[in-house]
Amino acid sequence: MKKIFSIIALMLTVAAGAVAQTTYTTTVKEGTEDADNWTISPNPTTEGTTVTVTYTGTKKVKSIKAVKKASTVAVTAITLNKTEAILIVGGETETLSVSSVTPEDATDKTVTWSSDNTAVATVDASTGVVTAVAGGTANITATATDGSGVTASCAVTVADMVMTSAGTIPAGKTVVLNGVSGGKITCSGNATIILMGDNTLSSGLQAGPAGTTLTIMGPGSLTATTSERDDAAIGAHGSDNSPCGDIVILGGTITATATGQRGAGIGAGSGLADANCGNITISGGTVTATGGDRAAGIGGGDRSTFGNITITSGVTKVTATKGGSAANSIGYGRRSDDGGTVT
């Protein structure tokens, strides 16, 4: 026989001008016999609403009792001790932690940790200890365990190696430059460079071949110069008859100066040496680029081509200076009209 009981949800007193949005959820107490035969409707509900509790089992029910549980305060925001971290392959670790939880009187301030790319970095779900696995990037996320769904994340970059002197970056590697002084760095293919400390290259930074991407980021600095006639300070090197792919600058303090005749500060070298360049994107950091006599500061060299040049609002400052015989500080160099758009 079906037994029906009615309960009036507790009334909520709201201060003048406030908006009542509180809802109530009715549950059957854990351990109640025949729990699967109880239904509650409507559920959840708001204050003042009649809640109907129906029992369809065979047990004899004398009465039911409504008990209000203590109210809970949900988490609305989480702040971490770091929003970015750099680790090196080989098991290096970083401990992330929660700096603050809003509101201060949140009932449950605990979090669980997770990684969106465990092939690059793993994290202990309870302690927040991050371990580097392989080169690349991963987002480590702290999620409030109170069911509010509130999260906060830290972007972790894992480098494959640390370079303290000039040399060649193998294709597909992420490297940290830390204290490099003098010489030239050549990228064999796709490469990500993380700048730590101050770094100086006296013969420039040669980006990877056409179809690849060189990405530069990090809190450090890089000063790249070249006196080679056909080379860009950062980009394509005509001295090696080497066009380059795309160049992306995400951060750091970067100074690129070409003192030769035909190379840009950042971008293409001499078109006579096939030192053309792909797209150039600058979306962070402080960048200063000076071209050779016939070259732009950023973009084309003498008779060379380049892709699209994009400078976003995320940069701190970009300063480009053309050579004395060049047409533009950003864009075409001398005797060249084959390039992408500049935005």
Q: What CA–CA distance (Å, rounded) separates 235 from 280?
A: 9
* Residue with more model confidence, 277 or 91: 277
* Residue with more model confidence, 40 or 21: 40
Task: Indicate whether 251 pLDDT > 80.
Answer: yes
Please work out, in degrees rounded to the nearest 5, the angle formed at the alpha carbon of residue 336 by the alpha carbons of 330 and 342: 30
pLDDT band per the 50, 70, 90 thresholds, residue 16? very low
Q: What CA–CA distance (Å, rounded) separates 303 from 238?
A: 12
Count the neighbouring beta carbons within 10 Å of the beta carbon of residue 338: 12
Please state, in angstroms and as integers, the Cα–Cα distance from residue 218 to each residue in 42, 268, 310, following that order. Answer: 55, 24, 19
Q: What is the mean pLDDT of residues 165-178?
A: 96
pLDDT at residue 69 in the model = 65
pLDDT at residue 237 in the model = 95
pLDDT band per the 50, 70, 90 thresholds, residue 63? confident
pLDDT at residue 17 in the model = 37
Q: Write down the mean pLDDT value for the chain.
A: 89
Task: Indicate whether 340 pLDDT > 60.
Answer: yes
Q: What is the mean pLDDT of residues 304-328?
A: 95
The string of pLDDT tens digits covering residues 106-123 is 999 999 999 999 999 999
pLDDT at residue 236 in the model = 96
The string of pLDDT tens digits covering residues 173-221 is 999 999 999 999 999 999 999 999 999 999 999 999 999 999 999 999 9
pLDDT at residue 10 in the model = 37
Task: Indicate whether 1 pLDDT > 60.
Answer: no
Question: What residues contact 318, with CB distance under 8 A and at least 6 apart?
Answer: 282, 286, 287, 288, 289, 298, 311
Please state, in angstroms and as integers, the Cα–Cα distance from residue 123 to each residue in 81, 88, 127, 138, 215, following that order. Answer: 15, 15, 8, 10, 26
* Residue with more model confidence, 207 or 18: 207
State what percent of residues in the chain have pLDDT above 70: 91
